[in-house]
Structure 1
């Protein structure tokens, strides 16, 4: 005998929480989307601390394993493969620039010598063609792989975090901007899903889906569907009062603008100080002051857009562990870059083979923790 929808296996209704909402099992409760972004961005920060291709490949494998274990079948979950292709394209472009534009590295292992084009005096320091050395290609490969790893980590966040649920967690001051960003992020996945659906339907009917003719016959229904979704989205946003603001006194508006702008400038200056050796003394205090000012400004700015949240996502212990695992990877690799810079930055001149340092590699594997903590195939 099958249980009725909304009832448990014994025929009784599910237990209700004190507020009246059905209580979900903890294993099926979706993870906070902010935890996924903090985890992924922390892996990206760890990637900026090393040029060792073995560690970078380990970071990519870690993100791929977690994405394969925890992503859903929603359209945005397919973003990871797109970011992998984008990272590969960046790596190839970086190698192409190294070959055509050359490099100031004094390499000794010459692979080929391209015709060099003479340039005017005002373009000194730029070279087109010339010698292509192994050292130049290895240096470009390390640099391009680091950027590709950072992009792939961002792709992991896009594949794991539900954009609409992420929008619910934004403060009121960023709500309108967040809606625009979410719409922009979900446009491409929905467009790809429409193209795949229409091409499959044409194949089932025995009609061509490749070439210029197939593209033209698929493109029109795709654009028509995009227009219909845009009209429906505009009607839904208007019905929900999008763009309407509450009356706020002028002094509060000026204070909010000053705190938000000053806080963002402080965050930029503090981050720059942390990334440079000269700004190590002032970087952290300026960053903390900027974060505090920006938070106060966003809190005040939220008064202009009063709204309620239906069943807001809660920051649970699992969210802390997921975000903390990524932060641990970033902190340990930053420490390793200070303690043993030779292991995290293999030498190019003279050319040396990269080795896998044991405890930094073990630190990267801490990033696998979300694959065992987060719900597998998390509900969308």
Structure 2
């Protein structure tokens, strides 16, 4: 069924991106990682709002720089991975005795470079997933759905995201005005002279914003009982401990093993309950909220599928999830490939964003 053009709920896209990022963080198989990057590019190409700036290319460039930098540093300094295939031998630079454990130059092993490429490609894939979520749903839209407990923090972040770019515009205007008055506008001293007028403009704008927000009821005091505050604080601390323990169990299989994911989910639920308890004393209304339909639910399921499959696969030790550093195509788990391809389904069944008028 063809969906009417609308913007999908931002929380659905961010949960989708976090699920893919979780899947990418659990493997170093280059085939799976490149497949994750391709899925992100496909979904962003099909479902990004054309009226907004696409930040995904910047994340792709950063990922490529990370891979190249890791390869260069591994070739110069090595990474402790023993190998048998020597690609090239660089001139060795002698170092003092206190740096005997560090080498600069020498033989460059194929196995060492493959390990560096696989590990850096994993970080690049995670960054691509976050960039895709940022391209599909701006963090500014997501901040609107923070619970009332985090309302003040969300307001400060939104104000910062809105007015921080304006500082650059003010600096350009002041510099242009000084240039018209015969000033060069270059150098450290000239840049320092831009500080006072730019900050003065920012202060005036902030005072005007504060006055307008106060006239609309922002900053009102909400009365809450001592029991409610203590309950919310205890739940928040317990949930934070659970989240940290779960993350440690997921990152180190010997510490938690298969219990890492359940502990992480339980800690997240407890932390979320603390926000619910705190928000129960502070009801707030919303304006033009995005609706949550079956497409949002299916998007979250599609993004969670690869994360769940690859977390379970890493715990069970599937063959090919962490390939060996050999000059051969690594084995690729078929179920993992299918799970990553499922994450591309939102490119077709989700509603198209608003179309830009020709």
Same fold per TM (> 0.5)?
yes
Distance 1:73 1:241, change over 3 A: farther
Q: CA deviation at 1:268?
A: 1.4
State which of 260, 264, 278 in structure 2 corresponds to 1:283.
Answer: 260
1:93 aligns with 2:78: no
C-alpha contact 1:30 1:379 (8 A) present in aligned 2: no
CA distance in structure 2 between the aligned counterparts of 1:296 and 1:59, rounded to whole angstroms: 32
C-alpha contact 2:239 2:266 (8 A) present in aligned 1: yes
Residue in structure 2 matched with residue 42 of structure 1 by the alignment: 19
CA distance in structure 1 between the aligned counterparts of 2:137 and 2:164, rounded to whole angstroms: 16
User: 1:1-380 residue pairs with structure 2 within 5 A?
Assistant: 27-75=4-52, 77-110=53-86, 111-121=88-98, 125-185=101-161, 227=202, 233-278=209-254, 279-280=256-257, 282-303=259-280, 305-337=282-314, 341-348=318-325, 350-354=326-330, 357-378=333-354
**Structure 1, residues 120-176: CA drift from partner, whole Å, max 9, x if none?**
54x665444433222221111111110011011001111111334312221111122
**Structure 1, residues 274-322: CA drift from partner, whole Å, max 9, x if none?**
3322202543443343223212211122256442112333321110101
CA distance in structure 1 between the aligned counterparts of 2:164 and 2:210, rounded to whole angstroms: 18
C-alpha contact 1:47 1:150 (8 A) present in aligned 2: yes
C-alpha contact 1:346 1:354 (8 A) present in aligned 2: yes
Unaligned runs of 5+ in 1: 1-24, 203-211
C-alpha contact 1:172 1:301 (8 A) present in aligned 2: yes
Residue in structure 2 matched with residue 13 of structure 1 by the alignment: none
Over the aligned positions, Cα root-mean-square deviation in angstroms equals 3.7
Q: CA deviation at 1:231?
A: 5.8
CA distance in structure 2 between the aligned counterparts of 1:373 and 1:79, rounded to whole angstroms: 23
Q: CA deviation at 1:257?
A: 1.6
CA distance in structure 2 between the aligned counterparts of 1:281 and 1:168, rounded to whole angstroms: 35
CA distance in structure 2 between the aligned counterparts of 1:178 and 1:280, rounded to whole angstroms: 35
Unaligned runs of 5+ in 2: 177-185
CA distance in structure 2 between the aligned counterparts of 1:160 and 1:85, rounded to whole angstroms: 18
Give the structure-1-normalised TM-score. 0.75
Distance 1:323 1:117, change over 3 A: farther
Q: CA deviation at 1:37?
A: 0.5
Q: How many equivalent residue pairs? A: 337
Distance 1:360 1:145, change over 3 A: same
